[in-house]
Each structure stands twice: as C-alpha cells, then as structure tokens.
Structure 1
Amino acid sequence: MAGGQLLSGRAGAGVSAVQLETAALRQPGPLTRIALVGNPNSGKSSLFNQLTGLNQKVGNFPGVTVDRKTGISQLTAQHRAEIVDLPGTYSLYPKSLDEKVITDLFYDKASPQYPDFVVVTVDASNLRRNLLLFTQLADMGLPTVLALNMMDVAEQHGVQIDIPALQQELGVPIIPMNARKGVGITALKIVMAQTLNAPTERFYEPEADLHPMLQQIREHFQLHNDYLALHYAHQYRHISLLTPEDRAYMQALTAQYGFEPMARQAQETIARYGRINEILLNCVSVTRTEQNEPYSNKLDKVLTHKVWGYLIFFGVLFLMFQAVFAWASYPMELIDQGVAWINGLIQTNFDGPLINLLTEGVLAGLGGVLIFIPQIALLFAFIAVLEETGYMARVTFMMDRIMRRFGLNGKSIVPLISGVACAVPAIMSARTIENRKDRIITIFVTPLMSCSARIPVYTVLIGLVVPDEAVLGVFNLRGFALMGLYLLGFFAAILSAWAMKLLLKTTERSYFIMEFPVYRWPRWKNVGITIVEKVKAFVFQAGKVILAISILLWVLASYGPGSAIEQAGERATTEARRQGLTLAEIDSRVASEKLEASYAGHFGHLIEPAIRPLGFDWKIGISLLTSFAAREVFVGTMSTIYSVGQDADQLTVQQKLAAEKDSNGQPFFTPARSFSLLVFYVFAMQCMSTLAATYRETKGWKWPMLQLFYMTGLAYFSSLLVYQLMK
C-alpha cells in the first residue's frame, strides 16, 4: 500500500529514520483534513487534545463529544492538518442526532468538508467491539489509519496483540498508543503526514440479490462503491443531502426490490462479527485470565446498588455543596474585601463623574462576579473528577430506573447533571438520546437545574438569612440550604417531565444502552484545565455583559428627567433636617431619593406593581430585568444599584444588601423576601443563551417560547406562594 511500510512493535515504536526524514522533507501543500472516529470512551477526545493542543473537554463517560470540533495539528515541520473530532458511535447506522453528524459527513463525497482520510481510535482491550466501526469505514472506501489506543489497559488485562499480523489482516497502518499520556503521538503524526490509499481489503460483501438495486443507486447518485449505495438504501429518509425527489426515488426503488432494512442490517452485523472473530483468533491472545473478579465490578456492586448506590450519590452531592460554601468562604471573603478596598482607595484619592462611573458602576458590577470564582472553580472541579473517574456513567445507569417513570431515560441524567454547570452544553448533550420525545422533554426541563450562574444569587441571599452555623459539629447550615435549592430545581425538572410525558403522545419506543468505562484515577491536568477554562469563560462571558449593563445602569441611576434628581435631593435634605437626622442618615436619605428620581427609578416603579405581591420593590425589579441577559448579572446589578451615590463603596455586596432598610426602617431583605427571591431564581428562565440553544436543537421557536413562558410562570407563582406564606 502507498504510505510506506506498516508500523509495528510497542506503542510509539516501529518508525524508521528513513520515514522520519521523508516526512520532514515534504513540501507544504493543501491543508489535509483528517477525521477522528471511534466508539464512545475509546480515547478519541484525548487524542484530539494531544494532536491539536486545544484541550477539548474529555470525560470518562460516553457522550462527551456531541458535535464535531476542529483544530489544527502540526504533523511535521512542513505539514499541517485540520483535525475533526466527531461524536463517538458504535456503527455507521445512526440512532441519535450526534451519530448522524458522522453519516452526514461520510455520505457526501462531494462536500468540501469530506475528510482526506480517517483515524479510527479503538480500545485495544476490547478489539472485537471496536473493530465493527472500523470495518464499516474501510468498506466505505475511506483511507484509514487505526490508532490502537489504551495499550496499557490491554496489557493489564493480559491481552497480547500481534500488531504485524493484525496490520496484514486489516490492510491499514496501525499505531499502538496511549493517548492519555501522549505515547505514540509522534508515530501517528508521521503516518498522518503521508499520502494514504483506501484499504483494498473488504470485510463484507452485500448479498448477490442486492446487486441490481445497488447498481441502480450507484448510477443514479454517482456513488463510488456498493457499500455506500447500501447505506443510501438503509438511510435515505435521514440523509440530509437528498432532495424530496431523491427520497421518493429511493422509496420506490427499495419497495420494488422488497428491501427490508432491519433484517439486512442484522445480517450484515452478524457477518462482520464473524469476520472480526476470524481476524482476532489469528492476531490476539490472552496470556492470563482474571483469577479474581475485576476491581471495577466489585465497586459497581456497591456504587450501583439499588439502595447504597443512591445513598452514596446523595452523599457525593452533599459533600459537593458543603465544599462550595465551606471551602470557598475564605478566598471569597478576600476577593470581596479586596474589591471594596480598591474602590475605597480610588474614591479617597480621586473625584469626578468618571471616578464615580468606575467605582459605582464598573468595579461594583464586576466585583459581584469575581467574588464567586472560588465557588465556580470548586463546582467544576467536582464535576470534572466525577467524569474522569468513570463514576458519572454509573450515575446515568442508576438514574435510568427513576427517570423512566417520569418520561425520561438514563441518558437524560447526563444533560441534567451537566445543567448544574451550564444549561447550554447540557441541552446540546441531549443529542445522544435516541428517542425524540425523551430528547424534547430533557431539553425542556434541563434549565430547571440550577446552573453555576445562579450560585452568585444563591450565595448572597442565603448569606443574608441563613445563619453561618455548624450542624452536628461538621456540616454548614448554609450548605444544607444550597443543596435544598438544587434539589428543588431537580424535583421541579422531573415533575415537569412527568407532566410532559402525559401530554406528548408518540409510538416511538425508548431504550437505554450504555457501556461502563473502567474506573480510572483522575488526570489532574485535565481537571485543572477544566477549572481554568470554565472559570475563564464564566468571568469573561459574564464580565462583558455585566460591564456593559453596569455602565448603562450607572448612567440611568445617576441621571433623571429634567431637574428631577436635584429637586428630589433638596426635598430629602429639607425633610431629613426637619426630622433631626444625623449627617450620615441625611446622606443616605438623599442618595435613596435621588436614585428613585432617576431614569432607573422611574423604570423600576413602572414594573413594581407586577412584582410587589412577591415582596419585591423597584430596585429588585431592575435587577430581574437586567438578569434576563444572564442570571449572574443580578448580583452585579444589585451591587451597582446600592452603590450609586452612597458611601458604601468599602462595603461588600452582602453588607450593602444587609444594610438596606424598608420604609419602616427595618431590614429590607427579610427571610420571606429573600426566600421568595431565591425560589424565583430556582425556576426562572433568565438566560438568552439557553433559549438560543433550545431553538438550535429543536429547529424552531415553539419549544423555546413554551420554555420561557412555563418557567417564568412557575417562578412567579412559586415566589408568590412562598412570600405570602412566610411574610
């Protein structure tokens, strides 16, 4: 075959000096497009990270990659390639939207996105299952390289692979490697820099009675081989590039020949596994058998137990929320005091409108975001460790038992748990759910899971009304309150799913199949990368919105129509002096009256009648509206609102809210009002990005609008109930 001698030996070995020199002397040419394909959990995303350095999200459970991702890899000094990371799949017969991404790419050879060749990543410890996809791609006529990943796991299991013999049988280059540790990457890059031909070996030949039909399909669509034509016969209803006329032609043709897709696919799968078994019998041996039950199986008996499994999972969540409050409290306090100190220092040494804008607008708003970096970092650290160890897949399996009763399935738990971090990628991950009804319900209810953007709201309000006390000498009472809010969102999600299950009718059957990855020690580098990337995204994405809104709010809160603000200040000063208030009380009264007379005050009073039954005033109303851009904007808005014109710049966000008084001089943020606001934020759909993600995944505005109205209505009436009962 063209592409040099086949590689052999242990991982990373088998590349001659001649090959290295030849590859290095290649002249720059067009950018080669290389697709990475493999079974879920075969190390494909780890390989993508090693090749591109993009540090794409990697998790030790199926369903991490739900869309194709691209990056550039420097293969040799003279050769670069575009690497496309595709979702994990077990075969070329798609059963979910994420798998359809692959077939859409490989069925259209005329597409500019069509790859020059494919790297198939396989789990060396489970070759029989992994080679099914490889044989399909080879029969599709795609130039292919086999990345024999997880060689260390295979060795641990006593699996010995005769790589030269396997190369001879498969007819493609094989690179033994360990993508987690970067072993074999250099050898793979060298092979990828070469010109490869399609494999000449064929692993499955369609039955003779299908040849006339396949020939007509090939001629009609100008296809290059019979196996691709066979896929057109199987998948024509779902192939994106076909027109309605093409589908009508295929429907008539398959009916003419009495083509039965399910029976033919079963025959093909059986035939392929028969061929794979023959190959492995000659190339693979097991030098030792497990004398004892594998360690993963022992752990699974406990961690997936119908009683202990749920208790352990509940304990893990409990630990996570305790950590978010207890462990993060000291760095949060330092950040908050640092921002307040900088604000006070600037105001002490400088003066003027621009200084007021900087301290009362920009720094006050951004300070409301920076303080929550420790909590966001801890949350994502826990989620990353759960993914890395393989525990998340077990949680998915356990929750299938519960989810099915509420119109969902086990795969729904992946978006729901991911929603604790951010609803946008969580909604995208619902593509792995094959059943459309289950997928729509999962997308609809996922935003009810409390995302990381809600943490700033929860933290400030819990800190106002929940005592910082220890329970049983170890646990923090505020941690209990935080976990309660998350559980409230979860129960709302599954109850909403149950209601939708009754409303949506479908004849499509739902099933759940998932492979358990082996337990692994977390790759702390990946955990660290996840924390840095997520915190950076939180700070910069939220920071941009908060910066813009804080500046706008400061302007609206500092100026008013005509001379309204000056007149309000004079009236407040006269009234305060008449009442004999102190100088500090007079300044506070004047600042409050001026704010109320500003443009922001007028706007807040306009919407106040609608939210007054919830216990909210016009200041909270402004914050509710601005936080529709992003939930975390609420705290930044409140910080800005309570900073404008007041001598509060050296106070923390929580101290500003605690100092707020009502018309009777009592603390404004009472337990009733605070819990009403907390419940509102548990349920409210206040994220434009989430609505956009729902629109993208459902291909229309029907479900995003239903989502918006349902969640807003649920938030309003739940908040109303809480306030009226508690006040």
Structure 2
Amino acid sequence: MKHPYKIALVGNPNSGKSSLFNVLTGLNQKVGNFPGVTVDKKTGTAKISEKLTASIIDLPGTYSLYPKSADEQVTYEVLLNRNNPDRPDMIVVIADASNLKRNLLFCSQIMDLKIPVVIALSMMDIAKQKGITIDQEGLERMMGVPIVAINPRKNKGIAQLKKTISDVQQQGSKWVLQPDFIDTEKLVGIWLEDIKILCGLESNYSALHVACNYQELGYLNAAQRIRIAALLDEMSFQKSKIQAAEIMARYQRIGTIMQQCVVEESPLKRMVISDRIDKVLLHPLWGNVILLAVLFILFQSIFWLAAYPMDWVEQGFSAVSGWFGSILPDSFLKDLFINGILAGISGIAVFIPQIMILFGFITILEDSGYMARISFLTDRLMRSAGLNGRSVMPLISGMACAVPAIMATRTIQNRKERLITILVTPLMSCSARLPVYTILIGLVIPDKKFLGFFNLQGLVLMGLYLLGFFMALIVSKVLNFIVKSTDRTFFLMELPVYRAPRWKNVGITMIEKAKIFVSDAGKVIMVISLLLWALATYGPPSRMEAVKQEYSKREARAASNPELLSEIQKEHATAKLENSFAGIMGHAIEPGIKPLGYDWKIGIALITSFAAREVFVGTMATLYSVGDDQAAKETLRDKMKAARRSDGTPVYTLAAGLSLLVFYVFAMQCMSTLAIVKRETRSWKYPAVQFTYMLFLAYFSALIVYQLFS
C-alpha cells in the first residue's frame, strides 16, 4: 500500500504555523496524540495540486533543534528518526520575517537534515511596519531553498506556496545533493561518518545530533548507544562546546546573508505601534490596573450580556414544560419526559450564552496578543509562589477547561514547576463551574448596583475567580517547600505583535465551544439526570407503600377543600422524594454536610457533581421537579428560591449560598481532570494527592464561611 505524501509544518512559536495549517487543511483535520507521549498531534489533508494530495502534520513549535521541553522533544524525534511513522517527506518552515535572523537559525538547521524544505515567510506586514525590507529573490538564492511570502490570515501567497511544494515534490531525491549550510564534518571531525553509517542517517548534521542526544533518542537500540558512547569517549567529545561552535558558525553565515538581503531601519528611527502600546500595557503599575479592568469587564459582561438570552431560554423551557404538562395524560412517560428529559436539557441550555461569552472573550485576548502580556505582567507574582510566567498560560487556560490547561504545562521546562502547575491548575474556575456560580449568585446575591455603577453579582463572580487564582498561588508556595528540586529556570518568551481579533474566528470558537459544552457536558448531565429521576421516583417498596397509604387517606379527607388538598399533595411529593433511593442517600450524608449549611438535596448534588461540576444544576433541576406537577411551570431559580427546610426557613440563605460557592471554587469535581493528571504525571499518586487536598480545602473553607455569615 502506498503511503500518503507527508508534509510537516515547523517553526518558532507565534510564527503563524497554526494559521497556515488551518488554511491548508480547512475542516479536514483531527487532533490525536503522538505514539507513546501525551503531546497533541494535529494532522489534516490538503489538496496541493491536481496530482498531489498530502497529509499535513503540524509539529509543536520550537526555537531550535536542541529540545528543552516535551513538545520540542517530539519535533526532534519525528525529524531525526527515519523509521518514525510521522517523519515527513517534505518540511515547510514558517519563518517570521519581522524576526528573520533568529528564524533563519532554525531554518538552516532543518535544511541540513537533508529533507526537502520550503521556507514560508510570514509576518511580512509586521516587517514592513518595523522598516524591514527583504530581497526575497536574493535570500532564496543565498539560502539555496525556495522561499514564498505568505499571509494565512488573509489567504495571501497560499496558491504560490502550493505550487512551490508541488515543484519541490517532483524533484524528489535531488534534494540530498544540496550542499550543507555549514560544514558539520569540518567543525566536528570525519568520525561523524561512523555514526551516520551506524544509525542509517542521511546527513552529517543528523549524526551530530545523535552524538549530542543519543541517550534521549528512543529509537536507538542498546548496541548503537554502547558503540556511540565508546566513540565519543575516544574522541573526547564535548557536547556544549560543539553546540556553541555550531551556533556561532550558523550565525556567522546568517549575518552575511542578512547584510546582503535585508535592509532594516534603525530602531531609534522607528517604533512599531506594538512597542508603544506595550509601554502602557506592560507598565509595572498601569499594566496591572488595566489587567484588573479587563477582568472586571469580562465578568461584568458574563452577567450583563447573558442576562436576556438566559431569561429567554428559562422562560421558553418553563412554557414548554407547562404546555406538555397540560396536554399529556398522567403517566410514567409524562413524568420521565417532563421531570427527567426536559429538566435535564434545560439545565444545559440555559448556560450556553454565558459559556459562549466567556470563550469569546478568551479568544479575543489570545487573538489580539494580549494574553501573552498577562504572562509577563504576572511573572514576578508567579516567582513569589515558586513558579514563573510560563505557568500563567495554563492557569489562564484553566478558566476555560482544566484538561487542555494541564496539557499546556508541557511547555514548562522545569519538572518541579510543571508538577506544581499541574497540581494547582484545577483551582482556577473553569467554565464547568460557571453554571453553578450563576445559579447560586442569582439566588443569594441581590441584583443591584454597587457604587451606583458596578453590578454586585458580577463583582462576586470576579471575586470567585480571583479567590481560586490566589489560592492556587498559596498552594504553589506550600508545594514549593515540599517538592524538592535544584533546577533553576529563566522565563523567556517572545511577545506577539498586537493584531485586530479575527471576528470570524471568535464567532466560530464561540459556536464550537457551545457545541462541545452541549455534547460533552450535556451527555453527562442527561445520563445523570435520568438516573437521578429514577432514583428520586422509586424507593424501597415497603417505604413507598407506607407513604402512599398515609397520604391517600389524607387526600381523600381533604377532597372537598382544594387549597388543603394542594398542600397535602405537595407534602406527599416531598415525602415520596425523601423515601426514594435518592432521598435515602441524601439523608445518609446529611450529618456530614449539615455544618456547612446544606440539606440532603444539596448533598445529592455534591455526590453527582463529583463526576463533573456542571451536573449540580441538572441534579437540582431533576430533584426540584420530580413529583411536583406545578413545578413544571416554574424556572429552576424560582424552585430553589422557594425551597424550605422542615422548620420553614429558606434552604438558600446568604451563608449557605456563599458556603456552597466557596466549596465549588476549591473542590476537585471532575473525573476527566483526574484522568489527564494521571496521564501527564504517569502516576495515580498525584491525582490522589490533588483530590484529597482540594476536598479538604473545600470542606473547611466552606465551613468557615458558613459560620462567619450565619
């Protein structure tokens, strides 16, 4: 069977690689993992020409061929291992024209691997703003490889790139005859030929990398490692000295190329708009003030912008449930449909507007380039907790979902800092907590203005997010003393230029995230809602029969008094629920949660939401609907607001509501997160530690809050 032609996209981070991948593959892409490692593998197919349809692989971004993180190690293994199933037939190197000198270093290293190469020059508009003029034909001639200027965001240069790829593909094996960018054999010695033959490599430069990293390269066998080690010892090989000499040799030639092909205005003559903006946004004082303002606007908007669509969804489901309740005959199927299925769906749909707004804002921050600035602003704060600015991106990503956020820690080179970041990331309030926050804040926090302008509910929501963030820093500080490591790291990160957000991309992201919420969270909520409906509808036959007999007599005696009959029927529904399997389970754990201000229904919701936090809302919707025909006409907030204890006091007081909010800020209630932590750390020890400390923190924090506000 003939294998598809494989093209790898490589380049520095923020060079436009992902944008090019999306343009080439469109919707024909998928995300998996590289074999044996938990690193994202983005692949897709692209029609390059009438005769060529290629498989495109988007390799993790890296600055050079000397790997320092798990992501960079994957790129390294794929490019050096001839037997790797993902090894490309051609490489497209995306080079940032506005930072050409640094990008050409990586390009030259890739070229010396003797795999066909095409250089795609991106960010030409930014280079022009910086006063950089590039002689593209001269650069192509001196580099010795085809060079195409592209702008994936505006779909410019893509047709020319495809034509160039097709032309290079037709040249086939002629590529290996190209001269090396630098003479590796002269730099190191003729003994590299021995490693080249031993490992079946195509170039002297590949042999040099094997010599430098033979212990980390998984595809080498024991005999090859022993032979290489002996050869290096015989030649007194000094890895760091050779690497430094190689980099100097490359930059020496790149300097000559830059002098002849690139004209750049003096930085004193021209300051790019991004630099001027950074003087304000990265200011030690005003930068942090603006950051808090951005967060304030975000959380105010989640309540303000989402208020109307959420009300429409709630009222719509309330009307639909009431309509079905009036036309369907009383039966098992009616109860299942209205109090099981419809109640579960309404618990999902009502929070879609807020989920979309949250992800829309996050996408705007990322697309505009501001998200990277947040890392720099908070680097000093991170270091005080034993982390660095690189930990900020996973923590911020945790506001959306902890699973991809924990996977994003692979870019953290220091193992101690990566482990601590993994352990504290779930303390960041993810989108799954948002439905819980919204319903509880709406119950116990009045919808009024603070200082005549600020929405009080929005301020409380922002406070919950900040509470999770600062607790993550406190826990990081504690873990920094417990987890021992002597490694030191330095935070270096290139800031992308500011750009106007791609509104189409923002819209697509909002829709896609809403679909994911409905499909992923919706499945869990629906399954648990239906299971809860069954547990809340049925119970031990003896207990349910006793309740039926007691209330049948009372209802018969009150048949002539409609008001009294209605009250008895509500009591009957409550008694059935309390004696159901769900009620028995809730009453069993009630003594443990009573000090927190919770009743047995909240206890059931706590148990079910350990699968996923957002299940809390679906559980409440089911528990407050089962057995109450009138409840179908009310919204969930109305039902919860009317909830009373046996002594007649409200269930959701300010103290109980705040206690429950704090519990959900800190508790680890997500099986998917625990699974990804196990996969990333390759041990069940860390998920167990994480679950235990977060549950302990949640319980005692909620206890303190309840006692303070009671």
TM-score class, shorter: over 0.9
Structure 1 position 236, deviation (Å): 2.2
Structure 1 position 246, deviation (Å): 4.8
Match of 1:607 among 573, 579, 589: 589
Give me the whole-angstrom Cα distance separating, in 2, the residues matched to 1:208 and 1:131: 21
Match of 1:331 among 305, 309, 321: 309
Match of 1:228 among 195, 206, 221: 206
- Matched with 2:288 is 310
- Matched with 2:635 is 652
Structure 1 position 144, deviation (Å): 0.8
Give me the whole-angstrom Cα distance separating, in 1, the residues matched to 2:28 and 2:326: 44
Confirm or deny that 1:674 pairs with 2:657: yes
Q: What do the CA deviations read for 1:136-195 (whole angstroms, capped 9, x no partner)?
A: 111011111111112222233332222222222222221111111111112222333333
What is the percent sequence identity of the aligned residues?
52
Structure 1 residues 131, 237: CA separation in 2 closer, same or farther (over 3 Å shift)? Answer: same
Confirm or deny that 1:542 pairs with 2:524: no
Structure 1 residues 236, 591: CA separation in 2 closer, same or farther (over 3 Å shift)? Answer: same
Give me the whole-angstrom Cα distance separating, in 2, the residues matched to 1:411 and 1:670: 41
Confirm or deny that 1:556 pairs with 2:535: yes
Structure 1 residues 660, 575: CA separation in 2 closer, same or farther (over 3 Å shift)? Answer: farther
Match of 1:52 among 7, 16, 25: 25
Q: Secondary structure at the match of 2:679?
A: helix
AA partner of residue 600 (structure 1): A
- Matched with 1:107 is 80
- Matched with 1:495 is 474
Match of 1:391 among 370, 379, 393: 370
Alignment of 1:638-717 (within 5 A): 638-646=620-628, 647-717=630-700
Give me the whole-angstrom Cα distance separating, in 1, the residues matched to 2:77 and 2:632: 56
AA partner of residue 301 (structure 2): A
AA partner of residue 170 (structure 2): T
Give me the whole-angstrom Cα distance separating, in 2, the residues matched to 1:254 and 1:713: 53
Give me the whole-angstrom Cα distance separating, in 1, the residues matched to 2:632 and 2:348: 16
- Matched with 1:587 is 569
- Matched with 1:3 is none
The question of whether the paired residues in 2 share the 8 Å contact of 1:573 and 1:586 is answered with no
Q: What do the CA deviations read for 1:73-115 (whole angstroms, capped 9, x no partner)?
A: 1223443211111111110101111111101211211122211
Moved over 6 A (4+): 287-290, 575-581
Q: What do the CA deviations read for 1:245-270 (whole angstroms, capped 9, x no partner)?
A: 65455444433332222222111111
The question of whether the paired residues in 2 share the 8 Å contact of 1:98 and 1:432 is answered with yes
The question of whether the paired residues in 2 share the 8 Å contact of 1:577 and 1:586 is answered with no
Give me the whole-angstrom Cα distance separating, in 1, the residues matched to 2:328 and 2:133: 74
Structure 1 position 218, deviation (Å): 2.2
Q: What do the CA deviations read for 1:557-608 (whole angstroms, capped 9, x no partner)?
A: 1111224223223334656899997233222111111011111112222322
Give me the whole-angstrom Cα distance separating, in 2, the residues matched to 1:55 and 1:93: 31
Structure 1 position 243, deviation (Å): 4.5
Structure 1 residues 473, 248: CA separation in 2 closer, same or farther (over 3 Å shift)? Answer: farther
Structure 1 position 399, deviation (Å): 0.8
Confirm or deny that 1:637 pairs with 2:619: yes
- Matched with 2:503 is 524
Match of 1:256 among 234, 250, 255: 234
AA partner of residue 472 (structure 2): A
The question of whether the paired residues in 2 share the 8 Å contact of 1:128 and 1:276 is answered with yes
Match of 1:195 among 141, 147, 170: 170
Give me the whole-angstrom Cα distance separating, in 2, the residues matched to 1:385 and 1:56: 23
Instruction: Report the number of matched residues.
Output: 694
Structure 1 position 446, deviation (Å): 0.4
- Matched with 1:403 is 382
Structure 1 position 420, deviation (Å): 0.5
Give me the whole-angstrom Cα distance separating, in 1, the residues matched to 2:29 and 2:636: 35
Give me the whole-angstrom Cα distance separating, in 2, the residues matched to 1:650 and 1:242: 68
- Matched with 1:341 is 319
AA partner of residue 347 (structure 1): G
Q: Secondary structure at the match of 1:111?
A: coil
Give me the whole-angstrom Cα distance separating, in 2, the residues matched to 1:363 and 1:500: 45
The question of whether the paired residues in 2 share the 8 Å contact of 1:104 and 1:239 is answered with yes
Normalised TM-score (structure 2):
0.94
- Matched with 2:35 is none
Structure 1 position 314, deviation (Å): 0.7
Structure 1 position 547, deviation (Å): 1.2
Give me the whole-angstrom Cα distance separating, in 1, the residues matched to 2:28 and 2:598: 44
Which range moves more in the overlay, 185-194 or 490-499? 185-194
Give me the whole-angstrom Cα distance separating, in 2, the residues matched to 1:474 and 1:688: 40
Structure 1 position 471, deviation (Å): 1.5
Normalised TM-score (structure 1):
0.92
AA partner of residue 482 (structure 1): L
- Matched with 1:508 is 487
Confirm or deny that 1:42 pairs with 2:15: yes
Give me the whole-angstrom Cα distance separating, in 2, the residues matched to 1:575 and 1:333: 39
Give me the whole-angstrom Cα distance separating, in 1, the residues matched to 2:224 and 2:468: 46
Aligned-pair Cα RMSD in Å: 2.3
Structure 1 residues 81, 436: CA separation in 2 closer, same or farther (over 3 Å shift)? Answer: same
The question of whether the paired residues in 1 share the 8 Å contact of 2:386 and 2:417 is answered with yes
